[in-house]
Structure 1
Amino acid sequence: MKKLIRVYIDTSVIGGCFDDEFAEWSGKLFRDFQAGRLKPVISEIVTASIEPAPTEVLQKYSELLSYHPEIAEITREVSELADAYLCRGILSKNYFDDAMHIALATVSEADVLVIWNFRHIVHLEKIRLFNSVNLEYGYKPIQIYSPREVASYEDTNN
């Protein structure tokens, strides 16, 4: 049996299902989860940040839970790695949750972090900086993309 690609997503991907700019590709990523082509990975941070969301986003989150996502745990290692991103100035303290998402995806060894945050995360220079810290701390580099680069272009396994 082929190993599924483990895809860590944040709340922007879930909420993106209801945003005109992002709905097509967030929706396709969810179809890949539903079809079993990709394995979703989330964390407690996703759960906590989704609670105040509108009803439609909460329903989409419930749908995601029906696909039995892996739950990446917040550990001392995750917190230390996130702090390292902040200490290096890759992200400011205002973006601590973003640093935690990257650290959670890295420490849990997700195959890819999928997120709609182009300014602070899905940006070549930022990705290089995150990965230099990851390597320094003994972790593998993490691939970071938007749903558009990860979701299937068709509803087939091809």
Structure 2
Amino acid sequence: MVFSKPRIYIETTLFNYCYLNDPDRKEEIFITRDLFDKIKKGFFEPYTSDIVIAELDRCTDIEMKQRMLGLIMEFDIIRLTAEDYKGYEELGEKYILGGAIPRQKRDDALHIACATLSQMDILVSWNCDHIVRYKTQQIVRAINLIEGVNDISINTPQEVINFE
């Protein structure tokens, strides 16, 4: 059986981990860079969104912001716009009301909605507090089923790099 390349949505934390300098996060940094290497080799079809760009734009370290934004061009990451994920604010609100994501972390709900409505196979994130957690995945799966939209896998880079 022939499989197509997985379409992956790269959430904000991955751009940060590419340049993170934290000895306590060495393994996550290595894994993130390994994922970007696999993207470069064509194992995945990478996407990000205007939501991610807006979050990166809020970085106060200008050099770091430019480096993170530069990854989008360097790795040919396709930038999704609101036109690609119409209805994402409404779906994100349903995730919040359903208890998947706290209201104060609305952007996290919007990432999931964007990836879902853009027909991504996998949302990749290191945000294990709100995005990559069992409760979130179960609620998102239930809401997506009720809404008749794409089911999405939500994983850390560690779970994704061994996809092949």
Shorter-normalised TM range: 0.7 to 0.9
Match of 1:79 among 82, 89, 97: 89
Distance (Å, rounded) in 2 between the aligned partners of 1:152 and 1:136: 31
The TM-score with structure 2 as length reference comes to 0.85
Distance (Å, rounded) in 2 between the aligned partners of 1:77 and 1:141: 16
Whether contact under 8 Å (1:82, 1:102) holds in the other structure is yes
Whether contact under 8 Å (2:36, 2:75) holds in the other structure is no
2:71 counterpart residue number:
63
Q: Which runs of 5+ in 1 are unaligned?
A: none
1:40 counterpart residue number:
46
Relative to structure 1, is the Cα distance of residues 85 and 11 closer, same or farther in structure 2, using a 3 angstrom cutoff?
same
2:107 counterpart residue number:
97
State yes or no: 1:11 paired with 2:2.
no
Kindly report the root-mean-square deviation, in angstroms, between the aligned alpha carbons of the 2 structures: 2.0
Task: Tell me which stretches of 4 or more aligned residues in structure 1 moved more than 3 Å.
Answer: none
1:27 counterpart residue number:
33
- Tell which deviates more after alignment, 47-56 or 132-141: 47-56
2:57 counterpart residue number:
51
Give the residue type in structure 1 aligned to 2:16.
G
The TM-score with structure 1 as length reference comes to 0.88
Identity %: 28
How far does residue 92 in structure 1 lie from its aligned partner after superposition?
A: 1.7
State yes or no: 1:126 paired with 2:126.
no
SS of structure 1 residue aligned to 2:79: strand
- Tell which deviates more after alignment, 52-61 or 21-30: 52-61
Give the residue type in structure 2 aligned to 1:14.
F
Whether contact under 8 Å (1:30, 1:64) holds in the other structure is no
Give the residue type in structure 2 aligned to 1:49.
E
